[in-house]
């Protein structure tokens, strides 16, 4: 819910109402993902340094307090940067942009501090048989949160329709963000109450633990690069994530500048996308994957992403808001089907001997790709505005979507080179070689 408000609403306001350069918007938002490697560190700290005898919930609560506070503080800072952009005053502008990027970095660190121990808590409190259902519920609730956040913005900010005066927008958005942050913090306290039983000192003795994620990044990369099939899947994950999120920093601006949608209306696009994603996740898990298989479903999902992105590009020629909403629903459906099968493939292509390392590398690939997607998407929008493609805002957005379609096609091509059986054979041999090198050293 907070992610939709923090990123989905703000990127539209920054591009449409405050006239931020697209590269600045995408670059600032990307800093949230650029700090993703800190997740491994926070996971290790929560394992080995309990607070008041509890390993998970204190860190979850600390991270939640921090990212809620930073979300509220982001509102005046964004509008302050907007005023400096309009006046062009230096060096205050450069310092404020650096502060904005730093705030998004701190927000990403706070999210990592809260979410990594939270996922570890899920593992602590569930058996191996229960875990797939728990993960499925969590993923669905994340999608439900996107829908709830989008609807909450639409209802709460309906009075701002047609208003683009920063002096009126800033206090309204600040009040709204403060209320959302209070709700998120309250829900977190309720959700984690009594969920983290105290542990004994022996349970957190670092010397008594054989940790998979204590393997260094260099060692993990040697394992990844030692197998062609691992590199194929690693590359697929990067291209797949870019194919889903390259339009992320410019979507609300697309709805505002090309389709004339208000702040509340364009935020509803996230609700349509979220509903479609939830339907896609459920359809893939219940019906499509059991019938077609994981690899074939991933291929189908990527094909649907290419088709719906093409529709998203074409819808801008019509200017029809109703068509845009329908396309976002279909895009969400494609994303849900592809994401479900990609996650299943990721779990299948993870060696039990090094589950922490493999899942960490897969997650890092996705996080870095989302960061690059935001940065590249904003940069392409700026480039499109400078090229002589035609009048109006549509050509610049069309450039971003065209590149995104090409990336999705590349992801589909990379998937065609994935061989699951060969992957397992290659990685088993690679693991033995890497571990032998470590023992020898």
Tell me, yes or no, whether 302 and 394 share the same domain: yes
User: Is residue 324 exposed (0-12), middle (13-18) or buried (19+ Cβ within 10 Å)?
Assistant: buried
Cβ-based neighbours of 346, under 8 Å, separated by 6 or more:
237, 359, 362
Whether residue 204 is contained in a domain is answered as no
Q: Confirm whether 177 is domain-assigned.
A: yes
Tell me, yes or no, whether 201 lies in a domain: no
Same domain, 301 and 408: yes
Q: What is the pTM of this model?
A: 0.73
Whether 205 is in a domain gets the answer no
Q: 189 and 220: one domain? A: no
Instruction: Look at residue 391 and give its three-state secondary structure.
Output: coil
Residue 260 backbone class (left: φ over 0; alpha: ψ -120 to 50; beta: rest): left
**CATH no. for residue 129?**
1.20.1250
Range of the domain at 88: 1-194
56 contacts 45 by C-beta, under 8 angstroms? no
Same domain, 159 and 244: no
Same domain as 374, residue 293 = yes
Could you give phi then psi for residue 14, rounded to 5 degrees?
A: -65, -40
Out of 194, 223, 252, pick the residue that ends a domain: 194
| CATH number (domain holding residue 247) | 1.20.1250.20
Can you give the pLDDT of all 441 residues of the chain as single tens digits? 887 777 667 777 888 778 888 888 888 888 887 887 777 677 778 877 888 888 889 999 999 999 999 999 999 999 999 999 888 777 888 999 999 999 999 998 998 888 888 877 877 787 766 765 676 677 778 878 888 887 887 787 777 766 777 888 889 889 988 998 999 999 999 999 988 888 765 554 444 444 444 445 565 566 666 677 778 888 898 899 999 889 888 888 899 899 988 877 887 888 888 889 888 888 887 888 888 888 899 999 999 999 999 999 999 999 999 999 999 999 999 998 998 888 777 766 655 555 545 655 666 777 778 888 888 988 999 999 888 877 889 999 999 999 999 999 999 999 998 887 777 666 555 555 544 454 444
């Amino acid at each position: 819910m907070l992610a939709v408000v923090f990123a989905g609403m703000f990127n539209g306001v920054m591009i449409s109402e405050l006239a931020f350069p697209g590269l600045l918007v995408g670059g600032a938002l990307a800093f949230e993902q650029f700090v993703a490697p800190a997740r491994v560190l926070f996971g290790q700290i929560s394992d080995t340094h309990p607070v008041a005898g509890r390993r998970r919930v204190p860190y979850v609560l600390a991270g939640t307090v921090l990212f809620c506070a930073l979300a509220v503080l982001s509102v005046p800072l964004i509008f302050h940067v907007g005023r400096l952009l309009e006046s062009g005053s230096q060096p205050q502008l450069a310092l404020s942009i650096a502060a904005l990027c730093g705030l998004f970095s701190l927000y990403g660190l706070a999210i990592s501090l809260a979410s990594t121990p939270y996922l570890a808590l899920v593992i602590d409190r569930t058996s191996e048989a229960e875990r797939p259902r728990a993960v499925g519920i969590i993923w669905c609730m994340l999608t439900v949160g996107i829908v709830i956040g989008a609807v909450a913005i639409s209802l709460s900010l309906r009075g701002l329709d047609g208003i683009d005066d920063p002096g009126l927008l800033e206090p309204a958005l600040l009040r709204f963000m403060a209320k959302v942050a209070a709700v998120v913090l309250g829900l977190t306290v309720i959700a984690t109450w009594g969920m983290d039983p105290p542990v004994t000192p022996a349970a957190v003795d670092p010397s008594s633990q054989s940790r998979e994620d204590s393997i260094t990044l260099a060692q993990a990369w040697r394992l990844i690069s030692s197998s062609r099939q691992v590199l194929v899947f690693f590359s697929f994950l990067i291209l797949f994530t870019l194919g889903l999120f390259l339009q992320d920093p410019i979507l609300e601006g697309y709805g505002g500048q090309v389709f004339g949608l208000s702040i509340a209306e364009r935020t509803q696009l996230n609700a349509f996308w979220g509903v479609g994603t939830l339907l896609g996740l459920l359809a893939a898990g219940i019906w499509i994957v059991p019938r077609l298989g994981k690899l074939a479903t991933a291929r189908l999902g990527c094909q649907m992403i290419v088709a719906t992105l093409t529709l998203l590009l074409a819808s801008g020629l019509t200017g029809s808001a109703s068509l845009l909403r329908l396309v976002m629903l279909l895009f969400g459906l494609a994303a849900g089907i592809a994401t479900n099968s990609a996650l299943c493939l990721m779990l299948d292509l993870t060696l039990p001997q090094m589950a922490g390392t493999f899942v960490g590398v897969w997650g890092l690939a996705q996080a870095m790709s989302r960061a690059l997607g935001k940065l590249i998407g904003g940069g392409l929008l700026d480039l499109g505005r400078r090229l002589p493609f035609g009048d109006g805002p549509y050509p610049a957005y069309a450039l971003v979507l065209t590149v995104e379609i090409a990336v999705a096609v590349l992801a589909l091509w990379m998937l065609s080179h994935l061989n699951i059986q060969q992957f397992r054979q290659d990685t088993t041999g690679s693991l033995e070689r890497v571990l032998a090198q470590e023992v020898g050293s």
